[in-house]
Amino acid sequence: MKQHLCTGLAAAALIAALSGCGGSPGTTATTPAATSPAATSAAPTTGSPTAAAAVDLKTASSSAGNIVVDAAGMSVYFFTKDVKDSGTSACTGACLTAWPPVLTTEAKPAAEGVTGTLGTITTPDGAKQVTLNGLPLYYFAQDKKPGDVLGQGVNGVWYLASPAGEMIRTAASGY
C-alpha cells in the first residue's frame, strides 16, 4: 500500500512540476508522463551538473540537428520565459525539479564548437548557472542518456540550444 502511495505521489509531483514550467492550460507535454520516483530526480543520471568543477559545452548531432550538450553529452535547453541578459532564471521552485540548471564553478565556461557567447548568472542559492547568449541553460530530468532530446518542445516553452545560441524550434525526429 505504501509503495503505491509513494509512486502516486511521485507521479503527482512530476506532473505538478511540469505544469508549473510554463505553457497554457491548453498545452500538453510532448513526452509521456513518468510513473516512477526515479524520473523525478533533479539531475540527469549520467554526470552530475552540481559536482562538475567546470561545465565544458560542446556540440553534438541529434535528431533535431546540431545542438549544444555538456561534456557528458547531455542535451541542454532554453526556457522561453527567461529574459535575455536579465541575470535571473524564470524557472523556480518545482520547475527546477524537472529542469535542473546547468551549473559551473567557472566565471566563463569552456566550450568547443559553440559560437554563441557563454557566461553565468547566480542562482538564488549562490551557484553559477551557465548562460548562452544571455539566456540560462537547463537539463531535462527525463533525459537519461547522452543523445536524449525528450525535452524538445515541452509545453511549447522548452527548446534545445543551437551552437550559435539560438532556440531550435523544430521538432526532433523519432518521437
Instruction: Select from 137, 81, 87, 89 the least CA-distant residue to 109.
Output: 137
pLDDT at 83 > cutoff 60: yes
pLDDT digits 0-9 by tens, 107-140: 789 999 999 999 999 999 999 999 999 999 999 9
> What distance in Å separates the CA atoms of residue 158 and residue 80, rounded to the nearest whole number?
6
> What distance in Å separates the CA atoms of residue 56 and residue 108, rounded to the nearest whole number?
10
pLDDT digits 0-9 by tens, 8-36: 434 334 343 444 455 433 323 333 333 22
Maximum Cα–Cα distance for the chain, whole Å?
Answer: 53
Q: Report whether 22 contacts 81 (CB < 8 A).
A: yes
Q: Is the pTM of this model over 0.85?
A: no
Q: Is 98 exposed, middle or buried (0-12, 13-18, 19+ CB in 10 A)?
A: buried
Mean of the pLDDT values across residues 89-94?
96
